[in-house]
Structure 1
Amino acid sequence: MVQDKLAQLQALFREMDRALIAYSGGIDSTLMAKIARDVLGDRALAVTAVSPSLLPEDLEDAKIQAAEIGIAHRLVETREMENPNYTQNPVNRCYFCKSELYDTLKPLAQTWGYAYTVDGVNADDLRDYRPGIQAAKERGTRSPLAEVGLSKLEVRELSKFLGLACWDKPAQPCLSSRFPYSEEITVEKLRRVGQAERYLRNLGLTTLRVRSEGVTAKIELPADVIQGFVQTADLPQLVEAFQSYGFTYVTLDLEGFSSGKLNRVLSASLSV
């Protein structure tokens, strides 16, 4: 039961005594921040990395959620966009992102007196291709959710049990995940993807991606939403808006939304 795993998580934080949470505002790191605050009080600190790959509204959500939890919250700037190993977008791009993140957080944690830096990696993440996990481990970051075997579904169940309003919040990986591997990532490209996804959210859509492939925006929505979207959305207005953001073409993925779809090229290459 998730309550048993909650007890294990609480015990882990009691052993840590002081912990800095790498806090993106997503459901996983929010759960970590909540439990750390409940157990450690003011000996827990949430830190959010600010960069062009983070939507401003997601940053605001993170601030609001931290305030609701009652955990101390700080912002730091990360500079992964200055690293060509990141912007060239290789298959292990996330390794360089997390290297920058924890190379920033670890010294701060030491300076501020936090013996442990904690992330929100869950047990399901360990079964996916996540090169950033290696970078975090190399820098001594702990992953309590994974340590106690908590799955993504259990993360949501436990978050609801603890009264977190964001328990059903859709996953929102960084905007750099919207680009196919080897396509260069720029601040301008991140901006236009962010604007396009904001446009769709303003239509009332929640689970979505706008994949950027060159000058083409590919919209991904849940399969059961596609037909209603096509029938009710003002498509000419949408296309006009997306083109004003910098896209030339706008397409709709008829298969529907699937998390991690861009990683299929990795599976295909391994099977050859």
Structure 2
Amino acid sequence: MPLPVHLQRAYEALQQWFTARQQVAVAFSGGVDSSLLFYLGSRFLGKAHCRGVFVNSVLIARQQAVFARQFATEHDLNLVEGRHRPFAVAGFSDNGAERCYLCKSAIYQDLSQELGQAWLLVDGTNMDDDHASRPGFRALAELAVDTPYLHCHIGKQEIRALSKALGLATWDRPSDSCLATRIPRGRPITAELLHTVEAAEDALHGLGLTGMRATPVDQTLHLTVKEGDLDKFLVSEVRNNIQKKMRSLGFSKVFLDLSERPGILP
């Protein structure tokens, strides 16, 4: 099926970008942005010349790792897994303003050394990402990690629409970031706290509330619901199940943030 004109432009721009390179390694998380890059890079360059590098750690939800492996297997992609130990990064657990920068720098430094000069490392940052407020973006620039979507002037909605047109299951996958982003700035990060956040979000997903964010504040839990799911909380059984599960994780109260997370498509 032919692509709409605006998606054909995005497709051809990425094709031109990739085919001008010899070997590309995509920093692959299993999210919508990096999945499309990994898929198209493999289509344009061939499996031997495009690999996805999935960096696993305590910051990555286990279900996210499972999904990333399934995606690579389903599309016969060249997936390589690495391991990151964030607590070995000086300053990370302090959870200050530079946390994301410190972590990204450590990850991409390790990847660059492991890949060597033969592979060009790329990241899925796109035109709709707020570069000024993302310290991790500074790490990309300092380490010369390339960003195809920026070169091709492609934003989030084009990425989702192109993914859907190509039949990728990631097209409507909610945006997801590492578990450390759930911890309020300044609160020290521990492995136990990360595991608790993951357990809370897993429980919510099990109740059909996908894409929710769980933020621990002292002994309470603040939930941010995905746009369109707020009505589900009108059902008393849903609220009771949530309270029961969150109390079992040690939270005394659960609060709902009424500002919903943005939806998938306009």
Establish whether residue 81 from structure 1 lines up as the match of residue 73 from structure 2.
Answer: no
Q: How does 1:1-272 map to 2 (within 5 A)?
A: 1-41=6-46, 42-110=48-116, 114-127=118-131, 129-222=133-226, 224-257=228-261
Root-mean-square deviation (CA, aligned residues, Å) is 1.7
| 2:227/2:262 contact within 8 Å kept | no
Query: How far does the alpha carbon of each residue in 1:107-132 deviate from its partner, in whole angstroms, 9 at most, with x for none?
Result: 1111xx63300111111114551110
**Which amino acid in 2 is paired with 1:79?**
R
Q: How many residues in Structure 1 have an aligned counterpart in Structure 2?
A: 257
Structure with greater helix percent: 1
Change (3 A) 1:56 1:222: closer
| 1:223/1:254 contact within 8 Å kept | no
- TM-score, structure 1 normalization: 0.89
| 1:28/1:155 contact within 8 Å kept | yes
**Which amino acid in 1 is paired with 2:173?**
K
Alignment partner of 2:209: what SS? coil
| 2:233/2:239 contact within 8 Å kept | no
TM-aligned CA deviation for residue 210 of structure 1: 0.7
**Which amino acid in 2 is paired with 1:69?**
H
Structure 2: state its 5+ residue gaps.
1-5
CA distance in 1, matches of 2:97, 2:190: 16
CA distance in 1, matches of 2:86, 2:36: 26
Q: Which moved more, 1:163-172 or 1:214-223?
A: 214-223
Structure 1: state its 5+ residue gaps.
260-272
Give the percent of matched residue pairs that are identical in Structure 1 and Structure 2: 31
Q: Tell me which stretches of 4 or more aligned residues in structure 1 moved more than 6 Å.
A: none
TM-aligned CA deviation for residue 255 of structure 1: 3.0
Query: How far does the alpha carbon of each residue in 1:88-117 deviate from its partner, in whole angstroms, 9 at most, with x for none?
Result: 11122110111111011101111xx63300
TM-aligned CA deviation for residue 180 of structure 1: 1.4
- TM-score, structure 2 normalization: 0.91
Residue 3 of structure 2 aligns with which residue? Answer: none
Change (3 A) 1:72 1:245: same
TM-aligned CA deviation for residue 223 of structure 1: 5.4
Alignment partner of 1:76: what SS? strand
| 2:210/2:226 contact within 8 Å kept | no
Change (3 A) 1:71 1:223: closer
Change (3 A) 1:162 1:234: closer
Query: How far does the alpha carbon of each residue in 1:58-92 deviate from its partner, in whole angstroms, 9 at most, with x for none?
Result: 00000011112221111111112222411111122
Change (3 A) 1:126 1:221: closer
